[in-house]
Chains A and B, each alone.
Chain A
Amino acid sequence: MQPRGLTAALPETSARTVTHRRLVSGPNSSRRWVIGYLFILPTLVFVGVFSYYPAVKAMQGAFSNWNGFNPPVFVGLGNFVQMFQDPVFIASLWHVLIWTVVGIPLSLIPPFLVAEMIFHLGKARSQYVFRTMFIIPMVLPGFVGLLIWLFIYQPTGLLNQFLGAVGLGFLRHQWLADPHTALGALIGMGFPWIGAFQLLVLYAGLQAIPMEILDAAAVDGVGTWSRIRAIDIPMIRGQWKLLFILAIVSVPQNLIAPLILTDGGPGTATVTPVFYMYQTAIGYGLYGYGMAIAFLLFLAMMLLAIVNMKYIQSQPD
């Protein structure tokens, strides 16, 4: 129920603002402020201790030589100079670039095609059934999924057996052990790349397209591909942006797959910057150098976030 008087005549937001002003300037305002801060204090403490403090320490550590145990020694920009002379780090940048360029379309296009197919199923019940079927794999822990792919890629694994069975035995390969195929094998994991999260987001976007538009297109005789190109894709631009940004932020941070399946190898064929950060710090005890890599990653992510806010989110959908 709308309140009467001055606030009733104002839009909802303005009414809220007025109420807020009354609270902060009223006789009990300072007490209310204190209570408000007390409520958010536990969260602030946790965020400070577990998010900001380590990040600040990592920034400090990036300029030091530290083995994780003895006191760090300040080395200025030494770690950063070393980083750009380090062939493994340079290789890791190339790997993540390849992973991003190939991996992002793989993470967006197949879910979109499936979302389209489900959305255009005739019956709501059929949509529900297929949607559920594609979502159920979400309950599978990621680690288990990786182990399944380990067995698929084994020299005597499912992929090579399949290639042999269909007469393509000459393509059989040690997918994860060969430096020429290991990175591709990691990128290719998850076939047919129908991520449940992406599917749900895109499907929700399609559901939000006004039916009048779709009906009008049907009346005008617009074909399936034309409709997808001219209506569906532009109308869910917001979802595309969200998923694109999430993908571009998450791909460079892919640690678990190379860690579990290849340990960055063979050689350095699957080393990514975040894996290299882990390896140098945790594996080799070069925490200062690892923190320098982390710091650089942080800057890159922040830059992407700024680009996102400035140039993508601000544009009208």
Chain B
Amino acid sequence: MTIGSDDDYRKGDRFVMYRKITLAAACCMVLAGAGGLVQAKTAKIPAIHWKGTINFYAQSLTPVGPGIKQVSGERPLHALYDLSVQFNHLYPNVHIHFVNPAYNSSNQAVIANAAAGTLKDMMWNQYENYDFVFPQGIAYNLMPYFRQPNPYIPGNKHWIGVMNPSIVKETLAPGGQAYVVDGDWLAVNFFYNKTLFKKAGITTTPKTWAQLLQDCKRLKAHGITPGADRPSYDWWSRVFLGNYLGVPTLKKISSFSKSPGISEFDNAIAYYKGIINPQKNPRIMAWWPAMRQLYHYWNPNTTALPVNGSVPAGAPTGESLFAAGKVAMVFQGSWTPNAVKYTKGHAKFAVGSFPVPSLTGTSKYATKYNSSGDAGGPQAAFQFAISTPQADHAMNAGKFQAALDFLRFISTPQHDQMIVNEMGNMMPTFKGTTPIKAFRPLQTAMTKPWYQEDGGQYMTAEEYATIRSIFAEYVGGHISLKAAASQYSKAVATGFHQFVLAHHVNLAKY
């Protein structure tokens, strides 16, 4: 790999200087072996006797490099590549090969590759998939290593000590296994086209749900489509259920497993106790009518798309219509501004953002709790696992040790910040990290006690797909709330029973 290639991508990149300095420092560190922190690091690093190449699928954090070009809608990245070079200087016999980001990481492909033993050595995927969807045994349980020191963090006694405890809790499997190192946080907000808002005479962003609907109406009256996307149950359920249930109930749900955050285990107990059972608690679906009102203004071609699976090729998406300047806003992840900026042929407009406005008035169950930060979370780009020999026949004890060390190497606060901030779409989550300026106001959402109550939608993959589909049917106006409630109740009940059976949950204890 040639350092300094792809200069076309790097021109004007404000991380170039930082990267060069880092690289230079790394080279000095290894070659000269001098300097306080540097010396401390090199003095304690473990020896790796294994020789070879680790294949690493880093999804959207994949750096550009030999054979890997910038993807439209993605910022060209270099940080992981630079870190791999540093690691290679520390361990000349260990090479990191980044897999093309076009690699198929769908659930089906992962399971098929694992069954064939051809999974990549290090893999990105959503922690929920490792915890609930993929068969057990695809990835190593990293929890024992979380409790050990990370030798690449000076003075560190337990690797887990530099991680956000709520995120660790959220990402654990029901049996307490940690399959991924999760190092970033995705914020979900409304992103809007300032030009179109101005054209409709909207000068301030909405502060209440009623104002949001009023702005949609005004945009529509000016011939502007207010928004676009497939109905997103995932994020909206967190915003509304967090608000409607309120902090005391959320704390109660969180307490079932005696650690911060809300896991699917907590949700299973909460369902058992009737807290999130829609037949026993009217709050659980009381927010759906508010969402139907909002989606009424969304581009119908996007809300009519199937909500599960990929968007059919060529079909319009919220992102594509927003980047083209055809809709005024989207409720999307914090990657949106960069996705617009780096989409080829995007329209020229300034992107603004605003959080979910106050939910007061959306139903009688709305509380004053600001749950806007509950949309988003650690379901982002920095979620890396190491495949087991059963799923990756190229894996062995020596290679695992090398992969684990590379994972430790990139999962330090310093490197987490470097990797995540270069992308500029998410916030780093390790203790002591600072996000880029644009995300600093959102950082408190990540550091305060945080509850993502999703209604237990992830208890099984089937339940998840079914609930999303029911929600889309309802907000699309195709079924009544009564019909939706009946179907939803069945789906979540089935999910609960399957979850309890699969994970041997002892309900008698609760």
By a beta-carbon cutoff of 8 Å, the part of chain A in contact with chain B is: 67-70, 146-147, 150-151, 154-157, 174, 176-180, 259-268, 280, 282-286
Contacts and interface: CB of A to CB of B under 8 A. Distances in A.
Given A69-B111, A176-B306, A267-B469, 15 more contacts: A69-B135, A146-B312, A154-B304, A155-B304, A156-B300, A177-B303, A179-B473, A179-B479, A261-B312, A263-B306, A264-B306, A265-B473, A266-B469, A266-B476, A285-B461
Contacts of B2: none
B12 interface: no
A123 B466 CA distance: 57
Interface centre among A68, A70, A174, A285 (most CB of B within 10 A): A285
Contact of B312 (A147, A156, A177): A147
A259 B472 CA distance: 17
Nearest to A177: B304
A284 to B, nearest CB: 5
Contact of A68 (B115, B306, B312, B476): B115
Contact of B137 (A70, A176, A178): A70
A157 B390 CA distance: 48
8 contacts: A69-B138, A177-B305, A177-B478, A178-B476, A263-B306, A265-B469, A267-B473, A267-B479
Contacts of A174: 300, 304, 476, 478
A69 B133 CA distance: 12
Given A67-B135, A69-B391, A265 B112 contact: no
A264 B460 CA distance: 18
Interface in B329-388: none
A265 B472 contact: yes
B67 to A, nearest CB: 28
Given A150-B312, A265-B306, A265-B307, A178 B133 contact: no
Contacts of A266: 306, 469, 472-473, 476, 478
B315 A284 contact: no
Given A69-B138, A265-B307, A155 B478 contact: no
Nearest to B304: A177
Contacts of A70: 135-137
B278 to A, nearest CB: 17
Nearest to A260: B312
Interface centre among B304, B305, B315, B391 (most CB of A within 10 A): B304
In order of increasing CB-CB distance, the 6 nearest A-B pairs are: A69-B135, A155-B300, A177-B304, A263-B306, A67-B135, A263-B309
A260 B315 CA distance: 11
A68 B108 CA distance: 10
Contact of A285 (B134, B300, B466, B473): B134
A215 to B, nearest CB: 53
Contacts of B470: 267
B5 interface: no
B214 interface: no
Contact of A283 (B136, B465, B479): B465
Contacts of A259: 309
A257 to B, nearest CB: 11
A70 B111 CA distance: 10
A180 B478 contact: yes
Contacts of B137: 69-70
A54 B490 CA distance: 35
Given A177-B304, A283-B461, A284-B460, A68 B135 contact: yes
Nearest to A148: B314
Interface residues of B, number: 40
Given A155-B300, A156-B301, A285-B461, A147 B472 contact: no
A180 B473 CA distance: 11
A191 to B, nearest CB: 19
Given A261-B306, A263-B309, A285-B134, A69 B461 contact: no
Contact of A282 (B108, B390, B472, B476): B108
B225 to A, nearest CB: 10
Nearest to A261: B312
B267 to A, nearest CB: 19
A69 B308 contact: no
Interface string B279-314: 000000000000000000000110111111100111
Nearest to B112: A68
Contacts of B479: 179, 267
Contacts of B308: 263, 265, 283
B478 to A, nearest CB: 5
B115 A284 contact: no
B181 interface: no
A235 B303 CA distance: 51
B469 A69 contact: no
Interface string B407-451: 000000000000000000000000000000000000000000000
A284 B305 CA distance: 21
B294 to A, nearest CB: 16
Contacts of A151: 314
B259 interface: no
A284 B461 contact: yes
Contacts of A147: 312-315
Contact of B315 (A69, A150, A180, A285): A150
Contacts of B134: 69, 285
Contacts of A67: 111, 135
Contacts of A154: 300-301, 304
B114 A69 contact: yes
Nearest to A154: B301
B462 interface: yes
Nearest to B314: A147
B487 interface: yes
Nearest to A285: B111
A274 B479 CA distance: 26
Contact of A155 (B135, B301, B315): B301
A6 to B, nearest CB: 59
Contacts of B148: none
Contacts of B138: 69
A148 B313 CA distance: 11
Contacts of B465: 283-284
Interface string B111-150: 1101100000000000000000111111000000000000
B107 interface: yes
A303 B142 CA distance: 51
A303 B115 CA distance: 33
